[in-house]
Amino acid sequence: MTMAPTPPAPVTAPAHATLRPAALQPAVEATALRKDFGAIHAVDGIDMSLPPGRIYGLLGPNGSGKTTLIRLLMGLALATSGTAKVLGVEMPSRANLARIGYMTQADGIYPELSAWENLTFFAALYGQTDKAQLHAALELVELDTRANTPAQNLSGGMRRRLSMACALAHHPVVIFLDEPTVGVDPALRVQFWDHFHRLAADGATLLVSSHVMDEADRCDELVFMRDGHVLAQGTSAELRRRAGTDNIEAAFLRFATDPAAATGAAATPAPKAQPTGAER
């Protein structure tokens, strides 16, 4: 009697290099993506295609729609119309969330649990139980000496760092980071960005929202967003060239007031005026 071959065991929470997307398949896609809150178009018909293995900076002022866009791409909010895909899978998809990491703008941790308990809880949801990997995640955010401290007794910056550890512990393929460096000291911020670049070199795709314009040059590509629209997309050098300025903040303001400049159609140099904090 011929025996049927034994099916292979399912793979649980593999490393991101194992799940690297096909070369021609975008890691993140949006097609005519829209989200309305009554008369407010928080995300207004966005089209986006992000190849894998790169760091994308999502830059724009408060209220521009950055967080709503990330939640739509994650499948955590339902679109009014249009589609979002991650790794070729239309979102929302519960199964696909195991390959995605998400650090929210607000700390998504339990205050009564210790740093270690928070980390092991969130990692277990994705099938990650390797204690060595979890200890490495705490070391990355320099909380290994505070593992037994309740989250409510950590400083605001420490809670941000713990949220990042929880987002990265299961080695996701696509990572959405919403204002990840707010409240983080400058030295640790550099360490975070070095780690982000190592993740991208291994095939992960990162979409990082930020108000800190001096972080723009740390990204492989930038997406400028305002009033629910993508104003411009490209490398920092490309956007400066199109805007006719060597200042990335001035480039943003140029695209916000002159949409034609985003395609290089306008040739008049951008003004040298410095943007206000509110415009950032």
CATH number at residue 39: 3.40.50.300
Higher pLDDT pick, 73 / 2: 73
Distance between CA 34 and CA 228 in Å, rounded? 9
Question: pLDDT tens digits, residue range 135-182?
Answer: 999 998 999 999 999 999 999 889 989 999 999 999 999 999 998 988
Distance between CA 209 and CA 66 in Å, rounded? 7
What is the Cα 171 distance to its own chain's centre?
14
Look up residue 149 and give its two tokens.
Answer: 């401290």
- Output the pTM of the full model: 0.83
Are the C-beta atoms of residues 253 and 242 closer than 8 Å to each other? no
Q: What is the pLDDT of residue 18?
A: 41
- Flag whether 189 is in a domain: yes
End-to-end distance of the chain based on CA atoms, in angstroms? 72
Instruction: Quickly count: other Cβ atoms within 10 Å of residue 213's Cβ.
Output: 19
- Flag whether 278 is in a domain: no
- Flag whether 195 is in a domain: yes
Residue 1 has pLDDT above 80, yes or no: no
What is the SS3 string spanning the chain?
Answer: CCCCCCCCCCCCCCCCCCCCCCCCCCCEEEEEEEEEECCEEEEEEEEEEECCCCEEEEECCCCCCHHHHHHHHHCCCCCCEEEEEECCEECCCCHHHHHEEEECCCCCCCCCCEHHHHHHHHHHHCCCCCHHHHHHHHHHCCCHHHCCCEHHHCCHHHHHHHHHHHHHCCCCCEEEEECCCCCCCHHHHHHHHHHHHHHHHCCCEEEEEECCHHHHHHCCEEEEEECCEEEEEECHHHHHHHHCCCCHHHHHHHHHHCHHHHHCCCCCCCCCCCCCCCCC
Number of domains in the chain: 1
- Flag whether 209 is in a domain: yes
- Residues 6 or more apart whose CB falls under 8 angstroms from that of 24 comprise none
Look up residue 251 and give its two tokens.
Answer: 């480039």
Q: What percent of the chain has pLDDT over 70?
A: 85
Are the C-beta atoms of residues 245 and 221 closer than 8 Å to each other? no
- Flag whether 220 is in a domain: yes
- Flag whether 96 is in a domain: yes
Q: Rounded to the nearest 10 degrees, how much is the dihedral formed by the CA atoms of 44, 47, 53, 58?
A: -30
Question: pLDDT tens digits, residue range 194-233?
Answer: 999 999 999 999 999 987 778 888 999 999 999 999 999 9
Are the C-beta atoms of residues 120 and 174 closer than 8 Å to each other? no
Q: What is the pLDDT of residue 264?
A: 61
Q: What is the pLDDT of residue 274?
A: 54
Distance between CA 213 and CA 203 in Å, rounded? 25
Question: pLDDT tens digits, residue range 29-64?
Answer: 999 999 999 999 999 999 999 999 999 999 998 899
Q: Which domain holds residue 102?
A: 28-261
- Flag whether 17 is in a domain: no
- Flag whether 274 is in a domain: no
Structure confidence at residue 276 as a pLDDT band (50, 70, 90): very low
